[in-house]
Homo-oligomer: A and B are copies of this chain.
Amino acid sequence: MKSFNVAIVGPMGVVGRKVASILEERNFPVKDIRFLGTERNKDREIMFKGERYYTETAEKGAFTNVDIAFFCVESSISKTLAPIAVREGAVVIDNSSQWRMDKEVPLVIPEVNPDALYGHKGLIANPNCSTIQLLMVLKPLHDVCRVKRVVVSTYQAVSGSGKNGIDELNSQIESFTGNEAFKASFYPHEIFSNLIPHIDEFNENGYTKEEMKMVNETKKILDENIMVSATAVRVPVFNCHSESVNIETEIYISPEEAREILGKSKGVKVIDNPSSHEYPMPVLADGKDEVFVGRIRRDFTVENGLNLWIVADNLRKGAALNSVQIAEALIERNLIKGD
């Protein structure tokens, strides 16, 4: 079996760390691994599969001999560094939003559109976390009943903002219990016991970039004709994004049929037994690989419609896990070199 030289770019962030732990968990065929961070974070110790590694600087020359580079950094860094990594021979799987809408770059959820990987040019984009969990559920339904329109409202955890988001909620909880005043420092407003209907920047059209990612990435990944209307909201939950999703379909589908289809879909788990108080929730999805769906019920206000409630671990399937699965899909299809 082949094995691969892997690099994790941004290894100290929450997604970078998660990529490392998922590579371990899944026994990914790692030949050698490099942890590439900022100059400031150089020489930090990282344990991987029981061995000690030290972070190196992510810079020109660092990707020689790297087969797969997992980029877990912000768009601005990916913008300059990813092309360098590709030129040096690495296949880059990028978690930022920098390359997602680039026509030359496949945007891939392995369970949804693995064929988009064929003909890649060394750079593959990992979709937005909210898009991934949405499409994991929409794809199997779309195959059967053609989804026409989606109205989605998100309930997004602070881990989606990385360590800064988690630290901010933690510190505000502490201030609250200590009866101390607190102020937002990372988010534009306090997040403890509050909701912020604002994720990423605002566009001219009144939507945030986060909302438009769901609109545009859905078209690129699943079907150009699907129309998405999105509202993205940050909630005081540490981990796992949730989505209230209303769909209109071309062909009628009953909740029972939808449950059956989704129950057979790889990577999706139906939890839908409300009379026993069983439905997806962040505390259930935390640390899990699957995308959870429940509260599946007919929307009586349209001829062919369903309401659904979708929850997933945004750090795993929404980011790190999907990236590793992309690498696995490349290997399976012989679309990447290795020894």
Contact A298 B205, beta carbon cutoff 8 Å: yes
The verdict on A41 contacting chain B, using a C-beta distance below 8 Å, is no
- CB contacts (< 8 Å) of A189 on chain B: these are 277, 281, 283
The verdict on A328 contacting chain B, using a C-beta distance below 8 Å, is no
The verdict on A8 contacting chain B, using a C-beta distance below 8 Å, is no
The verdict on A97 contacting chain B, using a C-beta distance below 8 Å, is no
Q: Contact flags (1/0) for A134-154 with B, using CB distance below 8 Å?
A: 000000000000000111010
- Tell me the bound Cα distance from A233 to B243 in angstroms: 10
Contact B205 A281, beta carbon cutoff 8 Å: no
Name the residue in A174, A193, A227, A300 with the highest tally of chain B Cβ atoms < 10 Å from its Cβ. A193
The B-contacting residues of A in range 238-287, CB under 8 angstroms, are: 238-239, 242, 244, 246, 255, 274-275, 277, 279-283
- CB contacts (< 8 Å) of A291 on chain B: these are none
Contact B195 A275, beta carbon cutoff 8 Å: no
Contact A188 B231, beta carbon cutoff 8 Å: no
Which segment, of A67-75, A78-86, A196-204, faces chain B?
A196-204
Contact B297 A237, beta carbon cutoff 8 Å: no
- CB contacts (< 8 Å) of A208 on chain B: these are 274
- Tell me the bound Cα distance from A307 to B188 in angstroms: 22
The B-contacting residues of A in range 191-236, CB under 8 angstroms, are: 193-198, 202, 205-208, 227-229, 231, 233, 235-236
Contact A229 B205, beta carbon cutoff 8 Å: no
A198: shortest Cβ distance to chain B, in Å?
A: 6
A38: shortest Cβ distance to chain B, in Å?
A: 28
- CB contacts (< 8 Å) of A198 on chain B: these are 274, 277, 279
Contact B206 A296, beta carbon cutoff 8 Å: yes
Give the copy number.
2
- CB contacts (< 8 Å) of A307 on chain B: these are 229, 231
Contact A255 B206, beta carbon cutoff 8 Å: yes
- CB contacts (< 8 Å) of A298 on chain B: these are 205-206
Contact A301 B227, beta carbon cutoff 8 Å: yes
The verdict on A99 contacting chain B, using a C-beta distance below 8 Å, is no
Number of residues on chain A facing chain B (CB within 8 A): 58
A183: shortest Cβ distance to chain B, in Å?
A: 11
| Closest partner residue, chain B, to A189 (CB atom) | B281
The verdict on A176 contacting chain B, using a C-beta distance below 8 Å, is yes
Contact of A231 among B197, B283, B309 (CB under 8 A): B309
Contact of A206 among B149, B195, B274 (CB under 8 A): B274
- Tell me the bound Cα distance from A177 to B255 in angstroms: 41
The verdict on A59 contacting chain B, using a C-beta distance below 8 Å, is no
The verdict on A299 contacting chain B, using a C-beta distance below 8 Å, is yes
Contact B274 A202, beta carbon cutoff 8 Å: yes
- CB contacts (< 8 Å) of A116 on chain B: these are none
The B-contacting residues of A in range 52-110, CB under 8 angstroms, are: none
A173: shortest Cβ distance to chain B, in Å?
A: 6
A277: shortest Cβ distance to chain B, in Å?
A: 4
Given contacts A195-B235, A246-B246, 13 further A-B contacts (CB under 8 A): A150-B301, A153-B153, A155-B233, A194-B281, A197-B281, A202-B275, A206-B255, A208-B274, A227-B301, A229-B307, A231-B307, A233-B309, A235-B236
What 3 pairs across the A-B complex have the smallest Cβ distances?
Answer: A206-B297, A227-B301, A153-B244
